[in-house]
Structure 1
């Protein structure tokens, strides 16, 4: 299988952080997004951002900025679909999604997702820890993008509802160190700052 592309899901409304782009919040020497980009880029063939609104605000990252391809705030699956469409144009067979507010996700995320889908005709997998699945971290086959588009246009919004219907595999990661810790509140951001400082 060809190396996947990656889509960073940065389209959330960040209501608990007072609105705006969570990915632009300062963390360490850069922004939250810098940490996410640094983690995913070595694992994939190419990377893009999924965000709605004016893409110019994200220009400094030097990545393609893809808007949701369906109307209304359709949640992470719409960002996944944007990534699938873009990855298909790159000639990739799969795209990996990661969340823009989760700066410490595993450095072997992509290899483990690929491993989980070995032997599958249509490679689809979600990351998980013993606490449960992390549906914004997944491997998505571009071959299913028409199916996902139809599901979104039909009103489906829950990631696991769609992935379960397609028999998604699970890539299990240890819970130690809270690898999928995400920044939702000012307190979370303070915790992330302390983790970076360590």
Structure 2
């Protein structure tokens, strides 16, 4: 694979629509929650953006909320499940909000505190790198449907920063972000944009 071919890869990140837990700020990894009615509307609102763009590869997290977002946005029939796009495994913190966790563990942060029974940030960053490698190898525009933390870390890794840089990249539900190139350097060209 030539360097020129690798530079052609462009990653479009579509965060899934709202779920009951995302609405309430609860950490959601492996719990397979459906989209709320508003989340379904948000996912459908992505369709016009997607209809204007030709994608060469479509990947989705195995979680229902991401797969349903891809389907409602118009790419469900092309989406391949990519296990490395599943959300950060929060271990014992699954289903809890940061304020709830901090009430018992003052100063706790997902970005720099141990995740008992879950993944370290370095493990999530390694999964993100595998997704990036797959997209670089494939080339072209890649549509990815997944979750906030995996996308924030993936963007950091794309920009050749440590995974913790994702702490600086807020990401709302059902938004569009694009990772591309400028003069041969990997850059974030669009972030957390409404459709």
TM-score, normalised with respect to structure 1: 0.37
TM-score, normalised with respect to structure 2: 0.37
